[in-house]
Structure 1
Amino acid sequence: QYLKELEAFVPDIAGVCRLAIDNALEDKDFLRLDAASFKASPSDSIDYAVMENTKAAAVIPLEAGWNDVGAWSSLWEVSEQDSDGNVILGDVLTEKVHNSYLRAEYRLLTAIGVENLTIVETADAVLVAHKDHVQDVKQIVARLKSSERSEANLHRKVYRPWGNYESIDAESRFQVKHITVNPGGSLSLQMHYHRSEHWVVVKGTARITRGDETFILTENQSTYIPLGVKHRLENPGRLPLEIIEVQSGGYLGEDDIVRYEDVYGREGLE
């Protein structure tokens, strides 16, 4: 019945959702919806688009202390507060701080003489907002997107089907990444037009394809991938493989990739 109502009131949303499923890819235990189709969906909430219009719904009273925790201020409300009314998570030091939500995930966070604030520190960015205005974070996100900043789409730690990578440092002509490849995982056979790469194995065993060569590297061993050479990184072992990758070149964007083979059936970014 819900799908019928969705079709009746917001056929645009129903249509793009169907396309996202029809064009989805199976990735081991995951079904990855087609991103391009899903992004085309209007941003209306289901409450507004369907529930406020349907005649096929019933409403009954419920007293359950419900909070959908839809904002940082909601987390402050439902979390345990100290004697100053603060919710403190992570490595946080405060002095004369009241009724605030303070969360540190990556670095030491300190606050002095403030109240009614939400302060959230992550590896990607730091948010400081009055509790009454945390919903306005979507305006900041919109500005990040309009200015095409990478923070709008990528975290410092990015997960892929084969594992993950974390950006450690970057400047205009170099970037350093910590790459973790799951046991049995394999990056695509690929090539870059604008950058070369140095790989140092810090944990586990790596199988490297570089041009016509295939060889094994273990801890404290390294290799160099010249610009324009086909290459692949695999983990043939039973333990996670960790490497430090140093990229250098005139352009270091994630879209500088030509993929020749990929066991996950992906196209585009690595």
Structure 2
Amino acid sequence: MNIIMANGIELGWDSFGDADAEAFLLISGLGTQMIRWSVGFCEGLAGRGYRVIRFDNRDAGCSTHFTAWAAPDFGALVSALMAGRRPDVPYTLNDMATDAIGLLDALGIARVHVVGRSMGGMIAQVLASEHADRVVSLTSIMSSTGNPALPQAASDVMAMMMRPAPDPAVDPDGFLRMRLPFARRIAGTAYPFDEDVHRALLLEEARRCYDTDGTARQIAAMAVAGDRRARLATIKAPTLVIHGTDDPLIPPACGHDTAVSIPSSIYRPIEGMGHDLPPELEQTVIDAICDVAKKGSHQAVSR
């Protein structure tokens, strides 16, 4: 794992494959870290002839944490939004997208294939709409558009996600008793839930950095992002939208809305997948994103 200065902050990152090859940039979701993009997935993608870069978003993992800002008051945040006021937040999804651009600049990479999951899909959408000259292709996985008419997460899932867990450094067993049922609940129904793998992943993320206030600040960034559909309509990069039919956190209608909002995008619902990327589906997803990447590369050469 490496640390690099980008957009005025430190970002933790690593890469797989030939440093001179066309690059993929993988963007992680809310409160999670770059290691959610498994080594097997990254190596599988690199094996197709690409350089694969993953990184920790701000306020996650080994990147800069905005500890000068307290955790947002969500009651005040919701009240301000309901009243049509823009609440004061530490940063926005646009700032997080600019972090990604700063990382590319620091690495000397002009253009990339961008893949984002969940909140990372939202950041990837901002990249493709606001920094079109840097994005060769876009893949948005288990994400949404900010359309206020879309269905929300299942109520029990939201309750599980927002329920405080014990500090894993003090009570790792209690931490796992809280977080493993949530991971199982959002994982979908079609593929086995490997509790040992998820336990190891949760503990590794906690070892790298455990910051619930950072996750709250990321939630605030999503909350003020608003409806992105008008911006998505400007995206010209070849786009793939992947969404699980069993996603209880960001319902399938959100993926469909994303695809409808981006001209000429390809919508790929995956039966039985939840808000997770199980190992059984990694090859399927790699095949799909490589197909859209090839289309983007061909368009770039043809210009």
TM-score normalised by the chain length of structure 1:
0.23
Greater share of helix: 2
Greater strand proportion: 1
Bigger Rg, structure 1 or 2: 1
Whose RCO is larger (CA < 8 A, sep 6+)? Answer: 2
TM-score, scaled to structure 2: 0.21
